[in-house]
Amino acid sequence: MNFDSAREKMVEQQVRAWDVFDEDVLRVMTVMPRERFVPSRYDALAFADTEIPIGHGESMLTPTVEGRILQALKLVGSELVLEVGTGSGFLTACLARLARNVTSIDIHTDFLSTAGRRLASLGLDNVTLDEMDATRQLPEGPFDAIAVTGSLQRFDPRFVDALKPGGRLFIVVGDSPVMDARRVVRANDSEWRGESLFETDLKPLVNGALPPQFEF
């Protein structure tokens, strides 16, 4: 397989076609070797618009959702970013190319170790990986942008609290099969606004089905 050609087709035929027009995002997804982040037995699906199992009942996000997440955060290269759910490390790698520094947390130790090796092989040294359950605690912030890569049954305002004024949060909220992907922008210490971006159906964060804390 010609990986460069396959990535270009993935971006043009899937990602751009699903309303991802940010040229920096498209460029990063075109050059980032997604094939290195896919479990070997799923090599043939590396560039398909499908979720790919990675263990623990978890999956890689589809390229289209990854593109929409990256676009929603509006990164310009100077940001401190928090990623909740490291998974395979592919989205982590894209964030690292688009931002100044990334802190990525996951509840699964083996995900972190595998992602760490993949990131190191690409020379990405602006990423900190931590084992942490985001439903119980978050790394010390604040952050310019936060990407939550698993769904929550109810919106959790702690993610907004972890943003700097002007910071952007991508989060998916709701119940399967129809969930709401949202961008939330923190205006200042006491005000924030949210907008619905698209409907999707993502696997929940571990412990993400919690009693309601805040209705949004």
Q: What is the CATH number of the domain that holds 126?
A: 3.40.50.150
77 part of a folded domain: yes
* Side-chain-facing half-sphere of 142: CA atoms under 13 Å: 16
For residue 213, pLDDT beyond 50: no
205 part of a folded domain: no
85 part of a folded domain: yes
177 part of a folded domain: yes
d(Cα 96, Cα 92) in Å, to the nearest integer?
A: 6
206 part of a folded domain: no
189 part of a folded domain: yes
The mean pLDDT of 191-209, rounded to a whole number, is 91
Angular region, 123: left φ>0, alpha ψ -120 to 50, beta rest: left
Task: Provide the number of structural domains found in the chain.
Answer: 1
215 part of a folded domain: no
212 part of a folded domain: no
CB atoms within 10 A of CB 149: 25
pTM: 0.94
Q: How far is Cα of residue 71 from the mean position of the Cα atoms in its chain?
A: 11
Per-residue pLDDT tens over the stretch 68-81 = 999 999 999 999 99
Per-residue pLDDT tens over the stretch 164-175 = 999 999 999 999
Domain that holds residue 137: 3-200
